[in-house]
Amino acid sequence: MNIRKFKWTLAFAGAVVVVLLLRGFAFTSYLIPSTGMENSIFQGERILVNKWSYGLRVPFMSLFSYHRWCESPVQRQDIVVFNNPAGIREPIIDRREIYISRCLGVPGDTLFVDSLFSVISPEAQFNPDKKRLYSYPASKENLITSLMHTLSITNDGLMGSNDSTHVRSFSRYEYYLLEQAMNGKESFVQPLSNKEDAEPNPLIVPGKGKFIRVYPWNMTLLRNTLVMHEGKQAEIKNDTLYVNGKPTQHCYFTKDYYWMGSNNTVNFSDSRLFGFVPQDHIIGKASIIWFSKEKETGLFDGYRWRRFFRTVK
């Protein structure tokens, strides 16, 4: 091998080593596979993940177990990249599937969630402008539409109907106006009971060294967390949670956890699917969009480049 060829080989090998070191100890690239984080990040974009945002998780966990240098907590509203907490078929955490979501809750936070564990705020729950479903006799349809016209209530159309009953959506304020327009007569417009109108449940995000109270609605979530991430034997019998063979009303946790949510709430690839995310599953913070393309339509069907090197927010 001549000197020139040797220099090129050495330079190439050095470049590979530098890339591997950067990928393992500084930044890594991640392809956004779905629409879950739109409009912050779009499907098909590539981002750089800063592995030092929350302290560097030492790579090669199969050799070194879990260690993190210069550890710092995830902040609320950060867009975070992490390994799948539910991927327990793969025992080594850093080999599991990778997800990206926004942090909605940090250890110790109390979140208000509905029956599907979607996070809602108390303000939104009791917002007078929030639409709810109401039913009334089909024979009253003409009267209702007349009152809506008089009261300038927007006609969103029927949400459902059969021979005897019609269903429409009204805000609390619109429902109040309809009741007032009936001059104190017994209202024939009745709210439909549904899960959306149920009182939200307070979900406490577990923290290291903390106890969480067990309720019927969070029992399965806590059981799964204890089994998957705390290494405990936990099962539910006769509506009671048993931990290591003993019934309990409080669960103790040895790790910090986070609650993650998608920007697009229709996309369930977040904590509603896999539960709490432990600190040891956190890879880093979504930092910069380094590649983006948007389909261009017209005479020439091609791609135009956009959003390069924008900070992820």
Q: How confident is the model at residue 21 (pLDDT cuts 50, 70, 90)?
A: very low
Per-residue pLDDT for 20 more than 50? no
- Provide the pLDDT for residue 306: 66
Q: Is 33 inside a domain boundary? A: yes
Query: For 212-221, 246-255, 258-267, which range has the lowest pLDDT when averaged over its residues?
Result: 258-267
For residue 1, name the pLDDT band (cuts at 50, 70, 90): low
- Do 21 and 67 have their domain in common? yes
Asked if 204 and 69 sit in the same domain, the reply is: yes
- Integer Cα distance of 286 and 282 in angstroms: 11
Q: Is residue 243 part of a domain?
A: no
* 30 and 151 part of one domain: no
Degrees, nearest 5: CA angle 247-249-123 = 150
Q: Are residues 7 and 105 in the same domain?
A: yes
For residue 150, what is the domain's CATH number? 3.30.70
Residue 220 lies in a domain: no
CA 208 to mean position of chain CA atoms = 22
Residue 222 three-state SS? helix
Q: Give the pLDDT confidence of 128-182 residue by residue, as tens digits.
A: 566 778 888 888 888 888 888 888 888 877 877 787 888 888 877 788 788 878 7
Note the pLDDT tens digit of each residue in 24-53.
456 788 998 888 888 889 888 999 999 999
Residues 55, 15 share a domain: yes
Q: Order the strands of the 119-120 sheet from edge to edge.
A: 119-120, 110-113, 201-204
Q: Is residue 134 part of a domain?
A: yes
- Give SS3 for 292: coil
Name the residue among 243, 199, 195, 198 with its Cα closest to residue 219.
243
High-pLDDT (> 90) share of the chain, %? 47
- Based on C-alpha coordinates, what's the Rg of the chain? 26
Q: How many domains does the chain have?
A: 2
Calpha distance 36→115 (Å, rounded): 20
Looking at the domain assignment, is residue 7 inside a domain? yes
Answer with the residue of higher pLDDT: 56 or 39: 56
Render 51-98 in DSSP notation, one character per residue. TTTT-EEPS-HHHH-S-EET--PPPTT-EEEEE-TT-TTS-SGGGSPE
Residues 46 and 170 in one domain: no
The answer to whether residues 260 and 116 belong to one domain is yes
Closest CA to 102 of 119, 114, 122, 115: 119
- Say if 107 falls within a structural domain: yes
Q: Indicate whether 142 and 94 sit together in one domain.
A: no
User: 112 and 42 in one domain?
Assistant: yes
| pLDDT of 7 strictly over 70 | no
Answer whether residue 258 shows pLDDT above 90.
yes
Alpha helices, H only, 122-242: 122-125, 141-150, 172-181, 219-229
CATH number at residue 261: 2.10.109.10
Residue 87 lies in a domain: yes
pTM of the model: 0.71
Q: Can you tell me the mean pLDDT for 78-95?
A: 95
- Out of 160, 191, 222, pick the residue that ends a domain: 191
Check: CB of residue 59 under 8 Å from CB of residue 33: no
Does the pLDDT at position 124 exceed 90? Answer: no
Statement to judge: residues 116 and 261 lie in one domain: yes
Judged against a pLDDT cut of 50, whether residue 201 lies above it is answered with yes
8 A C-beta contact, residue 23 and residue 17: no
Question: Residue 57 domain-assigned?
Answer: yes
CB 269 within 8 A of CB 36: yes
Judge if 54 and 104 occupy the same domain.
Answer: yes
- Judge if 204 and 295 occupy the same domain: yes
- The least confident of 93-107, 164-178, 289-303 is 289-303
Structural domain boundaries, residue 292: 3-120+200-208+255-311
For residues 224 and 275, is the Cβ–Cβ distance under 8 A?
Answer: yes
Residue scoring higher pLDDT (8 or 262): 262
Is pLDDT at 11 greater than 70 in this prediction?
no
